[in-house]
Homo-oligomer: A and B are copies of this chain.
Amino acid sequence: MANNEEVIEELKKIVKQKGLKYTEQREIVLDILINAEDHLSAEEVYNQIKEKHPDSNIGIATVYRALGFLEEVDLIASIAFGTEGKKYESNAKSHHDHLICTNCGKIVEFIDDEIEKRQEKIAKKNKFKITSHSMQLYGVCGDCQEKSK
């Protein structure tokens, strides 16, 4: 897993290679996602930029364009997260899935190698090349089961 500096260097390389321009805005968007705890929507990225970089006068359209660009060059990935629409995450992070309590909203993250392996197998069988996945288990957490007794 690459660290922050390395990902920024990667962006510089890609931009140069494509004959495009390296801008502060693209770097800021990528930086926000690298340091994000969570998956962020375009608007959440925009809000964090206004918070952490109040001097930079970035527009929401630029955020959308930067996200599109970064996704195209595979530095970030987007997934449809439940009903909440499109969200983005840095590809420099490891993936995890979610257990969600439908009663209190608690979210527990987990990774399971066995499931990841099965997914690969299923993909192979169907001739798919997987880029990402999204998995949520909905149910009632221990605390809420106790309370409803």
Contact = CB atoms under 8 A, between A and B. Distances in A.
A112 B118 CA distance: 8
A129 B137 contact: no
A77 to B, nearest CB: 9
A136 B82 CA distance: 10
Interface string A81-104: 111111000000000000101100
A131 interface: yes
B138 A132 contact: yes
- Interface size range of chain A in the complex: 35 or more
A138 B79 contact: yes
Q: How many copies does the complex hold?
A: 2
Given A80-B85, A80-B136, A114-B114, 16 more contacts: A79-B82, A80-B80, A99-B123, A99-B126, A114-B118, A115-B115, A118-B118, A126-B141, A127-B142, A128-B142, A129-B139, A129-B140, A130-B139, A133-B136, A134-B138, A135-B135
A115 B137 CA distance: 12
Given A99-B128, A101-B128, A110-B126, A119 B137 contact: yes
Interface of A: 78-86, 99, 101-102, 108, 110, 112, 114-115, 118-119, 122-123, 126-142, 145
A140 B123 CA distance: 10
A142 B81 CA distance: 25
